[in-house]
Chain A
Amino acid sequence: MGVANAKKGFKPGQEAIAKKGWLLAHKWLILRRLSQFSILALFIFSPWIAEKTEVWLIKGNLASSLTLDVIPLTDPYVLIQSILAGSWPVFTGVLGALIVAVFYFLVGGRVYCSWVCPINIVTDVAAWLRTKLKIKGGAQIGRNTRFWVLGFTLLLALITGSIAWELINPVSMVFRGLTFGMGFAWGVILAVFLLDFIVSRRAWCGSLCPVGAFYSLLGSQSMMRINAYQREQCDDCMDCFLVCPEQQIIKNPLNGAAKGFHSMITSSQCTNCGRCIDVCTEDVFRFETRIPFKKIPMLNQPSDSEKLTQTQEVVS
């Protein structure tokens, strides 16, 4: 596999472009960027549109918003912090959080990451540059660090009685900056970029961000999943592995047939970005639905030692 990489000079997706054409080889990426930018644009231009037409498409920001003056949406993570800090939201706040929670519960929690979050664009660019410039190595930050961070942000809200995390949360800072005035939030974008570019690959979204961690928990039973349904066609080009923001989750569903792993990527860390579908020349992957809480059967029982190395939560 390493040989294949070396030959291609770290340009994942080249073969896919050659075989499927540029557009198809970027289908999901384009759709994702469209989604991210139109959500941003909607928030940015709504005040302006409202000035001309008196119709508010959407107001607020990702923390809490109101669509068409009717539908409330609230980020459940920030609302939970607020409740832990000792304050009870009004009805619209709770309703908004419920709507958001149900949505991500169904489509996949980290859909927030790859289809909504503005920071994702920054960290994607950093990862792309790293691959292009063949930068390897860097600090080792455990993938589970984000859950510690998540826990501590909740604890801080409880102890300090204020939403302390929001003082430094780059996700909301950047989105709020773009919609309400940037100020020095550019510096935060730069900091996240440098972290991912210099310190370690996918350091922020892959190891540290508690927002992503929260949404991954929320969507751990989601209906929408990537399935490596044609994994027997895989030619081990490793392109999917190179573009995936959570590399560790692909291995077992793709190559674990012999060990009994199901081909569906059930890890809650999958962001449903669909980039693996884009770059695969052999059409191994596709989006599929599953029934929440229904256990995905193993093909056969993995041995104890294999269980320990599993990074996903497939239960036999």
Chain B
Amino acid sequence: MDNKRRKFIGDSLKTAGAVGVGSLVLGLYSGQSRALASQAIRPPGALAEDDFLGACVRCGLCVRDCPWDTLKLAQLFDPVALGTPYFTARKTPCEMCEDIPCVVACPTGALDHSLTDINDSRMGLAVVIDQEGCIAFQGLRCEVCYNVCPVQGKAITIETQTNNRTGMHAKFIPVVHSSDCTGCGKCEQACIVDGESAIKVMPLKLAASGGSPHYRQGWKEKEKAGGKSLVAPDAEHKFNLPEGVEYDYAGEGLIIKDKTKKPEAVSVPQLEQKTKDSPFSENPLDTLNKKGGL
């Protein structure tokens, strides 16, 4: 009797130990599998990755109800937790269905059922990640990503920059705004470069920085304060000029208030000694008026 009981307890402890060790390994592995590969994007409404892995039962109902065959369930050795839904934007982006069938189908809270406007979804954030590759940065006209974006004109805008190479053209640069980008990946799919896209949807965790709340933008503060600067205005620069003459930098240039005085008459003793083969004009005012340096 006693021996039997002892054996029973011993056996149970052994089993518990073995299963416990196995569970520990599995627990550690599950911790590691939390890292979602950045090219894998969760369906609209998906909870934050940690919560998602606790909620999703890996049933594939979202996959079946996606009319565009966007979603896939992760298979063994995919860089996504086994059996969970994701999509690869470069291949098949989310078409942002108005009725969001994937969310409606989900039997768990993994896809948040309170998401009813697809424009509110945040599957990720597009980033023009390869500025060297994006032909807009090379000065060519493209704007394909801008044109395919379902949140057009809001999620991506085109900003102009001076093309310093030609000196006379503008570059039409795509700029993504986190306020409106849903992370659908249409831009990533459409980007005209070969192979990997120049614009990519990244997980929000990676793509969105923490911002810089400790920096205050004076111009915005001024706007908020109804045009009143928070700091004392800069002291105006004083040019050391003769009486009746003013200088408006980046404006009119030299302003001679007293028309009777000729600027030529101003004598600058040091410069008068300069020889004729100096590259500078003898009149220092010429130099001053030549805006933008020598």
Contacts and interface: CB of A to CB of B under 8 A. Distances in A.
Given A90-B109, A152-B20, A182 B75 contact: yes
A63 to B, nearest CB: 4
Contacts of A153: 23
Nearest to B75: A183
Interface residues of B, number: 49
B286 interface: no
A86 B110 CA distance: 11
B30 A162 contact: yes
Interface in B20-53: 20, 22-23, 26-27, 29-31, 33-34, 47, 50-51, 53
Contacts of A164: 26-27, 29-30
Given A90-B106, A167-B81, A173-B76, A180 B60 contact: yes
Interface residues of A, number: 59
A179 B57 contact: no
Nearest to A64: B59
Nearest to A79: B57
B57 A74 contact: yes
Contacts of B19: 145, 148-149, 152
A53 to B, nearest CB: 15
B45 to A, nearest CB: 12
A63 B54 contact: no
A206 interface: no
Contacts of A166: 57-58, 82-83
25 contacts: A63-B58, A63-B60, A64-B61, A66-B105, A87-B108, A89-B108, A90-B106, A90-B108, A152-B20, A153-B23, A157-B54, A160-B30, A161-B54, A162-B34, A162-B53, A163-B53, A163-B57, A167-B29, A168-B26, A172-B58, A176-B58, A176-B60, A176-B73, A176-B83, A187-B76
Given A47-B64, A179-B60, A181-B75, 9 more contacts: A63-B58, A65-B61, A72-B107, A74-B59, A79-B108, A142-B11, A162-B54, A164-B26, A183-B77
The 6 A-B pairs of least Cβ separation, nearest first, read A183-B75, A85-B54, A87-B55, A64-B59, A162-B53, A93-B107
Interface of A: 47, 56, 59-61, 63-66, 72, 74-75, 78-79, 82, 85-90, 92-93, 96, 142, 144-145, 148-149, 152-153, 155-157, 159-168, 172-173, 176-177, 179-185, 187-188, 305, 308
